[in-house]
Amino acid sequence: MSLISFTTPASVLQRRPARGSTDARSRSLLPKAPVPLQRLVGPILLLVLWCVASGTGWISPAKMPGPDAVAASLAGMIGSGTLATDIAASLQRAALGLSIGIVAGFALAVAAGLTRLGDALIDGNIQVKRSIPNLALIPLFIIWLGIGETMKIAIIALGTTVPIYINTHAALRGIDRRFVELGQTVSLSRAGFLRHIVFPASLPGFFTGLRLAVTQAWTALVVVETINATSGIGFMITQARIYGQTDVVLVGLLLYGVLGFGSDALVRALERRSLSWRQSLDQ
């Protein structure tokens, strides 16, 4: 038997005979895969409602400036160059913390998911950390690491490790026993077992965890950038709050929303490309 059949765990199941009209009827009951641009409908509708509420005076400009005032502030910050500096600083912190969290979460999930010793040593600790809010650890991390960049990146990394671990570990523990037995039948080596069975089976859970981890990275970034930061979107929002610049605060919040939406869309696209063998509504 060729090892090509182990490229994806779904390759064996995909060879089942077609079910004809039964499959056609089941597909007709399910929604079609959404077009990526369709996800912009909600945010655009919210923006329209904001414009209408601001233009009709339903919202006080003192409490929430209209889109025109926010756009003017955004243009001014772009022209002065401060916005680019703040975005670059935030992206650097988020990317570094997320990268560390991805590597740590995946490595811990593999160790706990494939070995009894790893499961005994790792899983309990992760579950304990899962119940502790990440922000509650900030005072302790400040004592240990100070108030510099190391503390900020560590908080982001710790927050992103947990969702990667939880979802990847669940996917590994849920591997179909038939694939394991099939690997034993063809005498797969340990490396071959990891490459052709374990790694593909872990990808759906990993990408689910990655989407959650990206959100956690931006959430943690909002908080850590208010602690002794001299740049970043969070720093910009803090300074604007001190001086009562509501329009600048809204610019920062919109930037977080755009970055979060864009990063999630990127992960979705990467997931569709990596899991093209899987038959799902997103394909």
pLDDT digits (tens, 9 = 90+) for 138-177: 999 999 999 899 999 999 999 999 999 999 999 988 887 7
* Spatial CA neighbour of 219 closest among 253, 168, 177: 253
Lookup: tokens for 242: 């001190």
Is residue 76 one of the residues assigned to a domain?
yes
Distance between CA atoms of residues 160 and 183, nearest Å: 32
Residues 65-89 pLDDT 10s: 888 889 999 999 999 988 999 999 9
Q: Where is mean pLDDT largest: 14-18, 49-53, 61-65, 100-104?
A: 100-104
pLDDT for residue 123: 93
Is residue 102 one of the residues assigned to a domain?
yes
Distance between CA atoms of residues 110 and 122, nearest Å: 10
- Region label for 81, one of left (φ > 0), alpha (ψ between -120 and 50) or beta (otherwise): left
Collapsed DSSP state (helix, strand, coil) of residue 256? helix
Of 251 and 10, more confident: 251
* Residue numbers of the domain that contains 223: 66-274
Lookup: tokens for 6: 């182990």
Lookup: tokens for 208: 């689910």
Distance between CA atoms of residues 175 and 178, nearest Å: 9
Is residue 184 one of the residues assigned to a domain?
yes
The angle formed by the CA atoms of residues 39, 99 and 175, to the nearest 5 degrees, is 75
Is residue 218 one of the residues assigned to a domain?
yes
Is residue 32 one of the residues assigned to a domain?
no
Q: What is the mean pLDDT of residues 252-272?
A: 91
Distance between CA atoms of residues 14 and 69, nearest Å: 55
Is residue 191 one of the residues assigned to a domain?
yes
239 Cα distance to chain centroid: 28
Whether the per-residue pLDDT at 5 is higher than 50: the answer is: no
Of 120 and 8, more confident: 120
Residue 64 near residue 250, CB atoms below 8 Å: yes
* Spatial CA neighbour of 50 closest among 32, 39, 63: 63
Residue 171 near residue 206, CB atoms below 8 Å: yes
Distance between CA atoms of residues 98 and 192, nearest Å: 29
Q: Where is mean pLDDT largest: 64-73, 99-108, 252-261?
A: 99-108
- Region label for 72, one of left (φ > 0), alpha (ψ between -120 and 50) or beta (otherwise): alpha
* Spatial CA neighbour of 187 closest among 3, 12, 10: 3
DSSP string, 220-240: HHHHHTTSS-SSSHHHHHHHH
DSSP string, 129-145: HHTS-GGGGHHHHHHHH
Is residue 168 one of the residues assigned to a domain?
yes
Q: What percent of the chain has pLDDT over 70?
A: 84
* Spatial CA neighbour of 46 closest among 266, 236, 253: 253
CATH of the domain at 83: 1.10.3720.10
The conformation of residue 196, written as its DSSP 8-state character, comes to: I
Whether the per-residue pLDDT at 14 is higher than 50: the answer is: no
* Spatial CA neighbour of 183 closest among 174, 171, 194, 199: 194
Provide the whole-model pTM: 0.79
Q: At residue 104, what is the residue type?
A: A
Distance between CA atoms of residues 125 and 158, nearest Å: 13
Is residue 225 one of the residues assigned to a domain?
yes
**Number of domains observed in the structure of the chain:** 1
